[in-house]
Structure 1
Amino acid sequence: MRPNIKKLAVGGMLVALTVALSGFYIPIGASKCYPVQHLVNILCAVFLGPSYGVASAFCSSLIRNLMGTGSLLAFPGSMVGALLAGLLYKKSKKLIFAYVGELFGTGILGGILCFPVASFLMGKTVAVFAFVLPFFLSSLAGTCIAVILTGALYKSGLLENLQRSLKGGALS
């Protein structure tokens, strides 16, 4: 099994973009919500696949936490959304399913999975659904940006060309 060097390079650039723009966040309650992360989750789903998407979300979350610009809530929030967006897009090859996967994965599932992280690892007293609304709103903002960007790429024909150029490799 050999990794696809193009996919690794694109994944690394998307991680760098996410980290570079980590100063742009929406503070809602105890969470810092990053719409750029949700945009990147969808781009990873469409161009790289679920495994690269989850790896990119993990790397972005880790780097942001090491830099002090993120919180532990970034891990379940971003990784579940990246996984679901990637799996749904891979199965359907329709952009709408990547968008829905990101919204449901991050906004609902990721928000719920943040409860044990906040309670047990961060020592915060929160309700089970405390992060669902903030994560959903952040995911919605990033998804709207992704709709505009991927829609423009689709209409111009660049989406298919970029996907074709990244195709191949054992880790899709």
Structure 2
Amino acid sequence: MEKNRTQKLTMASILIAAGVVCSPFSIPLGAARCFPVQHMVNILSAVFLGPFYGVSMAFITSLIRVMLGTGSLLAFPGSMCGALLCGLMFRYTEKLTFTYLGELLGTSILGVLAAYPIATIVMGEEAALFAYVIPFFISCIGGVVLGAVLVAAIQKTGIMSHILNDKSRQQQ
């Protein structure tokens, strides 16, 4: 059990580092910064680690990015809602299509609803409730495509079935 926990923490740390290192590769759209790498990381964490790790990783990555000045406060609700729904979709369906859809809807709809109070109250941005749907969706679609390509590549190597079989044995 301790070995599994260490492996999960190591993988989570690597994915957080990838998210932080790639954070300069973002596209500013108004108060939001489109950051497709975070969505790719959310998908990988959903498939290999689960929703708890995904949300924790999204929080830590967002915190580091905000501290470094490469992210905005809107990174928290967008990435965390996406990671949660994405992780839950994979956990309960084990279907990648639903996982990708979970990331897209979690970020673009739930993330926007959670970001609105932050944008208006904390950041002082004047915005309509659904003003961030398009920027969040654009950011997310790029990350979902990156994540899907990476997961497909991992599937072709046969590593994914090995990891998922280990994961299911440990849950029993």
TM range, smaller chain: over 0.9
How far is 1:156 from its partner?
2.8
Q: Deviations over 1:132-167 (max 9, x none)?
A: 110011100000011111112223322112334566
- The number of residues matched between the two structures is 170
CA distance in 2, matches of 1:161, 1:20: 28
Q: Deviations over 1:64-99 (max 9, x none)?
A: 011111110000000000000000100011111110
Q: Is this contact kept in 2: 1:22–1:69, CA < 8 A?
A: yes
Aligned runs of 1:1-172 on 2, under 5 Å? 4-164=5-165
How far is 1:112 from its partner?
2.3
CA distance in 2, matches of 1:144, 1:138: 10
CA distance in 1, matches of 2:125, 2:9: 36
Q: Secondary structure at the match of 1:4?
A: helix
Q: Is this contact kept in 2: 1:41–1:102, CA < 8 A?
A: yes
Q: Which stretch of structure 1 is more off in the superposition, 157-166 or 19-28?
A: 157-166
Q: Is this contact kept in 2: 1:4–1:168, CA < 8 A?
A: no
Q: Is this contact kept in 2: 1:112–1:132, CA < 8 A?
A: no
Counterpart of 1:131 in structure 2: which amino acid?
Y
Counterpart of 1:113 in structure 2: which amino acid?
A
Q: Among all aligned residue pairs of Structure 1 and Structure 2, give the percentage whose two residues are the same amino acid.
A: 49
CA distance in 2, matches of 1:69, 1:7: 26
Counterpart of 1:85 in structure 2: which amino acid?
C
Counterpart of 1:80 in structure 2: which amino acid?
C
Counterpart of 2:12 in structure 1: which amino acid?
G
Of structures 1 and 2, the one with the larger relative CO (CA 8 A, separation 6+) is 1
> Which runs of no fewer than 5 residues in structure 2 stay unpaired?
none
Consecutive aligned runs of 4 or more in structure 1 exceeding 2 Å deviation: 162-170
TM-score for both structures, normalised by structure 1: 0.93
> Which runs of no fewer than 5 residues in structure 1 stay unpaired?
none
RMSD: 1.8
Higher helix share: 2
TM-score for both structures, normalised by structure 2: 0.93
